[in-house]
Amino acid sequence: MEDAARRRFLGVVAGAGVVAAAGGAAAYIASSRDAGAYDAAVEATWRHSDSFDLPAPDARKDLVRYATLAANSHNTQPWQFRLPDRAILVLPDLTRRLASVDPDNHHLFASLGCATENLVQAAAAFGLRANATFDAAAGGIRVDLEQAPAAHSPLFDAIPRRQSTRGVFDGRAVPAEHLRLLEAAGSGDGVTLRLFTERKSVEDILGFLVAGNSAQMDDAAFVAELKSWLRFNYAEAIATDDGLFSKCTGAPTLPSWLGRLIFSLVVTKDDENKTYAAQLRSSAGVAVFISDTNEPASWSAAGRCCQRFALQATALGIRHCFINQPVEVPAVRGQFAAFLGVGDRRPDLVMRFGYGPELPRSLRRPVDQVLHAA
């Protein structure tokens, strides 16, 4: 949130605070109890396994837990998992699709790719070799598992530390040898990664970001969908274990009714665009992932690449944050593809990266809620 908006936001919050003061003490106690419960949930979620020497069914269940720690659009966690013999199926949960921002399920399949990448990285730690393929008949990704020597890679180690950090970074450049590692991690399997670190290119990309965000903020269906996934306080976030919690963007917590009211009153297109400009200009660069073909298998391949990029960045102490507005609005995406010079290929995903402090972590639903009978 941009400064002027934040001041207005805090002003409205303060005004509402006076009204709410009568019930303040009880609310304070409830809120600190909820904050404690949230911290406990974060600790239980973002952790490595206690043991990597588990019977096969337990190992596969824990691999699913690692998969759920992946990035995913609006934190809807649009996945379900099945455990056939010696394999794991990563399938869409279409009840959690985002009809407005993601009408063709591109981000949904990219999110499945992110989950698959975590699973593949984690399998090695459990002494399993994972071979992931898109299974059109199953409508998702099949990960076949076979015994292999156990190994902990730096990318695996980074899984519980990765987060999408929606803050201002400190403007420092990433050294060339780390850019090379990011480039290697974030490409492959028909996916090209383009890194932009020149100021002029970053400013050009900002133009597409602003155009995409402006179109989205003018779209009532987009805003309504976004609002339905926002969580304004600890109790809301814990009740669902999903969605976009205000604390994770550095915003304050609020009673649900007030948060929804203030979101409608305070969050304007111009303020949002200024916030994005400050965040992008504070970043070391931008990563754009472009797949060869425009179909679910390629969208999930792009997801795998961006999750690998995110894990490699985390391993190097570099933060990342998606800025997908340039690829979410079809008209803007076409112009962005022309800017990139990629012809008919579809730019899939966009991230900024750089250095900055961690923000509060998001939650995930427990494994039992996403695991279905084989």
Ligand X SMILES: Cc1cc2nc3c(=O)[nH]c(=O)nc-3n(C[C@H](O)[C@H](O)[C@H](O)COP(=O)(O)O)c2cc1C
113-143 as b/e: b if 16+ CB within 10 A:
bbbbbbbbbbbbbbbbebebebbeeeebbbb
Contact 231, 246 (CB under 8 A): yes
Should residue 107 be labelled a site residue for ligand X when binding is judged by CB under 6 A?
A: yes
303-340 as b/e: b if 16+ CB within 10 A:
bbbbbbbbbbbbbbebbbbbbbbbbbbeebbeebbebb
Q: Which is nearer to ligand X, 78 or 179 (CB)?
A: 78
Contact 72, 79 (CB under 8 A): yes
Nearest Cα to Cα of residue 320 among 201, 167, 206, 184: 167
Q: Which is nearer to ligand X, 181 or 230 (CB)?
A: 230
Should residue 247 be labelled a site residue for ligand X when binding is judged by CB under 6 A?
A: no
Residues 296-325 that bind ligand X (CB under 6 A): 321-324
Q: Which is nearer to ligand X, 142 or 162 (CB)?
A: 162
CA-to-CA dists, residue 10 to 13, 233, 253, 258, angstroms: 5, 15, 11, 12
Should residue 291 be labelled a site residue for ligand X when binding is judged by CB under 6 A?
A: no
Least distance in angstroms from the C-beta of 327 to ligand X: 9
Q: Which is nearer to ligand X, 243 or 284 (CB)?
A: 243
Should residue 71 be labelled a site residue for ligand X when binding is judged by CB under 6 A?
A: yes
The Cα–Cα gap between 253 and 258 comes to: 10
Q: Which is nearer to ligand X, 72 or 233 (CB)?
A: 72
The Cα–Cα gap between 324 and 328 comes to: 6
The Cα–Cα gap between 79 and 109 comes to: 9
The Cα–Cα gap between 327 and 83 comes to: 34
Q: Which is nearer to ligand X, 145 or 337 (CB)?
A: 337
The Cα–Cα gap between 237 and 292 comes to: 37
Q: Which is nearer to ligand X, 114 or 262 (CB)?
A: 114
Should residue 73 be labelled a site residue for ligand X when binding is judged by CB under 6 A?
A: yes
Q: Which positions from 158 to 197 touch ligand X by CB under 6 A, shown as an x/- string?
A: -----xx-x-------------------------------
Q: Which positions from 13 to 52 touch ligand X by CB under 6 A, shown as an x/- string?
A: ----------------------------------------
Least distance in angstroms from the C-beta of 42 to ligand X: 11
Least distance in angstroms from the C-beta of 322 to ligand X: 3
| Options 230, 244, 290, 337; binder of ligand X; rule CB under 6 A | 244
Q: Which two tokens stand for residue 157?
A: 């180690």
Q: At what angle do helices 269-281 and 3-20 cross, to 10 degrees?
A: 120
Should residue 231 be labelled a site residue for ligand X when binding is judged by CB under 6 A?
A: no
Q: Which two tokens stand for residue 13?
A: 């919050």
Residues 109-148 that bind ligand X (CB under 6 A): 110-111, 114
Number of H helices, E strands in the chain: 15, 11
Should residue 362 be labelled a site residue for ligand X when binding is judged by CB under 6 A?
A: yes
Q: Which is nearer to ligand X, 226 or 371 (CB)?
A: 226
Least distance in angstroms from the C-beta of 26 to ligand X: 31
Q: Which residues lie near ligand X (CB under 6 A)?
A: 71-75, 107, 110-111, 114, 163-164, 166, 244, 321-324, 349, 362
